[in-house]
Amino acid sequence: MIPAQFDYLAPSTLEDALAALAEHGDDAKIIAGGQSLLPVLRMRLNAPELVIDLGKIEALRGVRDDGDAIVIGAMTRHIDVLNDPLVKENAFVITKAVEQLADPQVRHRGTFGGALAHADPAGDLGAPCLALDAQFVIAGPGGERTVEAVDFFVDLFATAIEEGEILTEVRIPKRAGWGAHYEKFVRVAHQWPIVAVAAAVKVAHTDAGATISEARVGLTNMGSTPLRARSVEQALIGQPPTDAAVRQAAASAAEGTNPPSDLNGDADYRRHLVTVLTRRAVLAAAGA
């Protein structure tokens, strides 16, 4: 399968990329790693006149320390996020999710920003970013704006990125010392999750024993966007990280979700599955 014809530009600065986008409007399409876009073009589900490659814009690549946050450039490849010590230390749930995203070859090409801009409801990066209250920096003709994670994911394959705009980086508040786990349920090793749960917890150790003092739980593929399991988070606080306590807190994980029904399972199945995966994710995150 071969894509329809298109013109190609590979600008070396963000300004040039934005100018090209402004000139060509919705006839143009951004390509980052191409791991989601190229299959779409090959199946001719989309046929842009111009493809603008961000691959030569070095400024969009890499992870940096920015005081109370870490900043992941949109063009940072999955493999480089996976191996990054800053991410591991301060946003471990992202490391755990990327570890299970796709396969090595796709991780060598696909980018952090590309996966988030693509906004597949079964994509593995949305739930951890939502759980960590990530902020999305978006550049456009009028300059730069910052969007909170809750406002970034709008619908199936739809984000707050408007026509003519480019996602440049994602800021993630540091949470060093938190335990984290990403529990992904799949039938085929390198594929998108049927349901997955991102959990990050802080465990306090006192004379009375261990208790969960803070918890963040994000859900993948339980609706048209990633979701936050807030009732589970609240129920976990003050609880010991034991099977019984976490099981009880995880029972409300499907509250407020609207999961799809498809060949992999119907909505009721997913509503049950998410409680099981939430328990596993929280227990693993707490090191229990």
Partner 1 sequence: MTRISVTVDGATYADDVEPRMLLVHFLRERLGKTGTVVGCDTSNCGACTVHLDGRSVKSCNVLAVQADGSEVTTIEGLAHDGELHPMQAAFHECHALQCGYCTPGMIMQSIDLLNENPTPTEEEIRSGLEGNLCRCTGYHNIVRAVQTASGQQTSASATLEETAS
Question: Contact positions toward ligand FAD, by CB under 6 A?
Answer: 29-37, 54, 74, 101-102, 106, 110-111, 113-115, 117-118, 123-125, 161, 166-167, 190-192
Tokens read off for 216 = 């963040």
Q: Which is nearer to partner 1, 41 or 232 (CB)?
A: 41
For residue 103, give Cα distances in angstroms to 80, 106, 107, 233, 262. Answer: 14, 5, 6, 31, 23
Nearest distance, CB of residue 176 and ligand FAD, angstroms: 25
Residue 264 neighbours by CB distance under 10 Å? 18
Q: Which is nearer to ligand FAD, 4 or 204 (CB)?
A: 4
Q: Which is nearer to ligand FAD, 104 or 287 (CB)?
A: 104
Residue 250 and residue 235: Cα distance in Å, rounded?
8
Q: Pick what 30 binds: ligand FAD, partner 1, none; C-beta below 5 to 8 Å, kind-dependent.
A: ligand FAD
Q: Pick what 123 binds: partner 1, ligand FAD, none; C-beta below 5 to 8 Å, kind-dependent.
A: ligand FAD
Radius of gyration of the chain (CA): 19
Interface residues with partner 1 (CB under 8 A)? 1-8, 10, 31, 34-35, 38-39, 41-42, 51, 53, 55, 79, 102-106, 108-109, 189-190
Nearest distance, CB of residue 117 and ligand FAD, angstroms: 3
Residue 257 and residue 127: Cα distance in Å, rounded?
13
Q: Pick what 108 binds: partner 1, ligand FAD, none; C-beta below 5 to 8 Å, kind-dependent.
A: partner 1
Nearest distance, CB of residue 206 and ligand FAD, angstroms: 38
Of 90, 93, 92, 124, give the one whose Cα is nearest residue 110: 124
The answer to whether 164 and 24 are in contact (CB under 8 A) is no
Q: Which is nearer to partner 1, 62 or 140 (CB)?
A: 62
Q: Which is nearer to partner 1, 22 or 50 (CB)?
A: 50
Q: Pick what 283 binds: partner 1, ligand FAD, none; C-beta below 5 to 8 Å, kind-dependent.
A: none
Nearest distance, CB of residue 28 and partner 1, angstroms: 13
Nearest distance, CB of residue 46 and partner 1, angstroms: 13
* Three-state SS sequence of 16-69: HHHHHHHHHHHHEEEECCCCCHHHHHHCCCCCCCEEEECCCCHHHCCEEEECCE
Handedness of CA 1, 105, 129, 166 (dihedral sign): negative
Residue 65 and residue 45: Cα distance in Å, rounded?
39
Q: Which is nearer to ligand FAD, 35 or 239 (CB)?
A: 35
Q: Pick what 235 binds: ligand FAD, partner 1, none; C-beta below 5 to 8 Å, kind-dependent.
A: none
Q: Which is nearer to partner 1, 110 or 223 (CB)?
A: 110
The answer to whether 253 and 275 are in contact (CB under 8 A) is yes
Nearest distance, CB of residue 121 and ligand FAD, angstroms: 10
